[in-house]
Chains A and B, each alone.
Chain A
Amino acid sequence: MATRPTDISLSPARAVPTSRWFVLQYKMAPYLFVSPFLILFAIFGAYPIVKSLILAFYVTNGPKSAVFVGLQNFIFLLSDDDFHKAVWNTAVFAFWSVFLQLPLSLGLALLLNSRWVRGRELLRLAFFSPNLLGQVFVGVLFSVLFIPQYGLVNRFLHFIAGVPLDTKWLANPNLVMPALVLTSLWMYVGFNMIYFLAALQAVDKDLYEAATVDGANAWHQFWAVTLPGIKPVAVFVLVMSTIGSFQLFELPWIMLNNSAGPDQAGLTIVMYLYQTGFVTGDLGYASTVGWTLALGVLIISLFQMRVTGAWKGGD
């Protein structure tokens, strides 16, 4: 069999391989290497995504029965009080988590980036360490801390402010959300602090020297040098925290004893999706909820990026 010369050369010092087999495998090798990912993604990523999109137009009743209902699931969603409650709860959680978390994380990062603080490494580890635990563990821990009559939180608040010992953080609809936000702050402030610390350490020190020479005080330096310097990271943290907040599930599920809590005060969108799909058994409507959540998060993230100037619509 004749062979065709090629212009492939691996290195000047080596002979040019010319066999057809070599040319074929040289061309196919990249595809071969990426194929494990592509195959797994197709099975466990792409197929479920497409399948859930199709299911969103069906009412399913148990494992084997599905009836095409067109846009009825989406129309029902618009008037579904439980979904509205889940959206409201999730939005409130996201708002308070993000707007308390980010300033606290940045404040801690500034503090622990300062030369004047002793034991910074230890403190960084201490503040980051809650994130080493899973949400389930933290949920169990805080559900014990928040128990009425004997819980540490109530004991402390009773001692300093006379709050009644039998205050029911996780059984009072008005206190469930504050309890969830406090827990998430404990867990994630230290985590986001690490991003801000890394960003602060990457800001060019020459800029601070130049600002000092120009007579800028610490406050001016923060506004004119530090904030612009860490802006990309701040936007990243903002977007990721928002997305994370909208995916909230394990923390309230564990803290509220596998339920949405009193008066559904801890019902989140993902929890509603889970309940609809795996408790009530309507995977079609659960898919509708899932796709609505995905679209909502996409819109909010794009809005955040547009407002913060991180995304300029294709520029």
Chain B
Amino acid sequence: MPFDFASPAGRRAWRAQLLAPIDEAKWERLTRELFAWQFARMPAYRRICEAHSVTPKNLGSWREIPAGPQQLFKREKLFAHSSARPGAIYETSGTTTGEPGRQHLLFPDIYRDVSVEGARRAGLFQRHVQFHFLTPSPAEAPRSSLSAMFGFWPKAAKQSGNRFWIKRGKFDLPRLRGVLAEQVKKGQAVAICGTAYSFVHLLDAWADLPLALPPGSWLLETGGFKGRSREISQIELYAELSRTFAVGRDAIWNEYGMTELSSQAYARGVGGRHQTPPWARVLICDPVSGKEVPPDRRGIVRWIDLANVDSVLAVQTLDLAERKADGFRLLGRMARTEPRGCSLGIEDLLSVK
């Protein structure tokens, strides 16, 4: 019997399927099911599939499922429950284009569960830590999927005393420093999580004030720079973080996710391999053929995310990566910079408005 993605019971059943072991046959079955369901309910997605001459009826393998471009989330409401009111809407920052992409979720239940379980399975919740988030809280930024995810974590990891350190648009560095210093004194391991540019901001402020974190502490950065703050390479960022907080580079994680998806991939250390949870896969594709590239070759990242039930399970990004036997190596999140030179591009258009 097909899943009913609109009912709480149906969603619970789907969630249970995702969190249970997934072998190849089950993966194929679940991807087909979700693809057919979304194909039937989202005209915009259906049009893309038809342009690629792929329908649920003629689908050969899950690898052939056409992906919705990330950019389309900025132009069209990709929501599989057209008559229902979304229970959560998350928006991209729109930093680079001025047009936010929107992810509409019927309920945030599946997102909550997979973002917690994905982090747990990646190994983030193995030890008792006090969380510090360099973002606004979910209450302050209800449209931020990152804040929402960070909000889910402490409860799931059975931690208390977590804090969000961006309040009313201001980074409360002095208080963060005070709380961290207290925890360091007590030998309490901490986890500091934030966007790469928030870490750069923090490093700039604490350049001459290293703070050795207790053993078991870790850092998690995400999101790239998107033209904010000063831009530094991952190698430099990790070296500076390692120096400032006296943590090994293996204690620095990168979270690779996006508002348009429900699942995330994680990597440790500089140039670490990203790995997805079992209910999501990443294909590194040749944009010309649309096919997966051979191992050790570069391509663009295409996500197949079985937790993304309310919008599109397959999302095509413009992020560059190298396919590896044990995952993929993210080479760069392609900003929406248009060709530099004299031709006016999207970024400039923003400044014109």
Do A and B come from the same complex?
no
